[in-house]
Structure 1
Amino acid sequence: MLPANCCAGLLTFDGKGEQMTKRAILALVDPSEASEGSAAAALAFAGPFGADVTVGLVAAVPVPGDRTFPPHLSKQQFNELLEKKEQQTWSLAHASGCEVRIFIDPVDALLDAIVRAARCFDLILLGPVTAFDRDLRLMLIEKLLLHAGKPLVLLTGQGPAHRPARVVVGWDGGTEASIALDRALEWTDAHARFDLISVLPMNSPLSLRSEADDMCARLTRRGHAAVSSIARRGHLSTAATLLGRAVAESADLVVVGGFGHSRLREALVGGVTSEIIRGEHTLPVLIAH
């Protein structure tokens, strides 16, 4: 049963008595020692929004003949690692006032249970590739993006101290990019600046007016500063070019659409989503599908 405060849309009131929505965030961590800072980073990210946080401890039960997450663990080692992580998570929850939910199942049932739970939250947070079992993290991200219907933020080692005020959007005019941008508007500063960056090959022609300009006009009407620009890809990949521009512009958040191509094409020839979720980055990335 989900904790009482984990469902989206709870109403609270600010200091002026005006009604506002209390948001709910699910932060997922695994039992590995590398994930110790992920829950704290998730709490830091949620802090500026005043959101309720549930820390979800994700543990795939070892099955004989199948791989374990983390790898090469005996059942005894898994139980010892899980017990230690549970103690750390409950201690953090006691100190911070957040909720805890434990997900323990064989991997397929585990992924399905997390997706069902995630649908009751507004946002899902996941630590960086260095702070989560890599293979389990990839399966979890794909499942959540395609089946939970919620935006996912891939965190860095630490959470921001304020709401994102400078946002770089990977813009290709597609449905996924538009959905991701709409989701990001719920989690950014009320007057955030949005830079819509279209990454194109060096010899690609420019159009006189693009959907990016129309989207910037929409954002401007909502009170945001918004600009569109072209980044030439050169010898770097689309994802690397976009992330490089975001770092150069001191962005607080990067926004991309998830799996704009089929999963088979992403697996065979690569794609922005696949590269971002597999790699390391220094800025938090919001992905939605």
Structure 2
Amino acid sequence: MKNEIKKIIIEEFSKLITNIEDDFKKNYKKKNHNFLLSELDDEMTANMVFVSSFESKSGNAIQECARRIAILKYGKKNVPRIINPHNLDINNINIDEENLREQLLVTDVDLDNDKLQSGIQGFMTLNQAKGRGKNRTKCNVTQNTIKELLDLSKYKDGKIHLKPVDLAFFDGNDWNIIEIKAGGDLDSSNAPGNAKKMLTIYVGLNCKNSKLYFATIYHKDGEGNNWSGSIKKYLSYPDMFLIGSQFWNKILPDGINFKEFTKIYGEAIKEINLNSRLRLMIQDCIK
């Protein structure tokens, strides 16, 4: 299993680094127009370009790693590309499943229906955290209360709708729908929209045996510490969250924990020569 996980990381992150290499010089040259960076030396600027590109483009690589790792634990049948728990007829829908780089939810619920969206918004407003200090009331959007939203699945229009999902798998008892972020440090303007999107997908899945999670690939406040994030106003913490090690331990095969996974990741990154390839990219730009 360790070798399988390493292979997954090597394959997905090799694609990522190649993608960064392809447009690194172009992105570096764009920084020449940013006067705020004019006093920084070329190597420092190039490092900033790499970090920015790595963080912005790593999302797809992480999602694919997570999906493939989840297959090791739950089996390919339970981590499908096409999520169609109600066996809806999609023979007339043109889906190139072999070339998909994401999972797709198939639903007959009209997720853009005004009444459905209004119902979700009303539910969020009623149950979100309110007040401050001693007068603060906790968010009541929990794995239990969101089942109320399944009543909104009645809004159907006779069509098939597709919705991208970061990660979805069936664990033998429940469908798990997971929104994946890097550190999860959303600003206050993005948090409600993100929560609403997640709840919309939950309604589209339309399964009583299902759970919804906001996950982060690392704990931005440090493992073992309380996680802070504006989305906690709209989703009950910790019930609706998988932060850092909790997320990876949820999908890692039995016998491999988060600590071991980080070691495997480090070994894989060394094997794809990330540091040497970064140095070559920088040298090629600043020479």
Higher relative contact order (CA 8 A, sep 6+): 2
| TM > 0.5 | no
**Which has a greater percent of strand?**
1
Q: TM-score range by the shorter chain?
A: under 0.3
The structure with the larger Rg is 2
**TM-score using structure 2 length:** 0.25
TM-score w.r.t. length of structure 1: 0.25
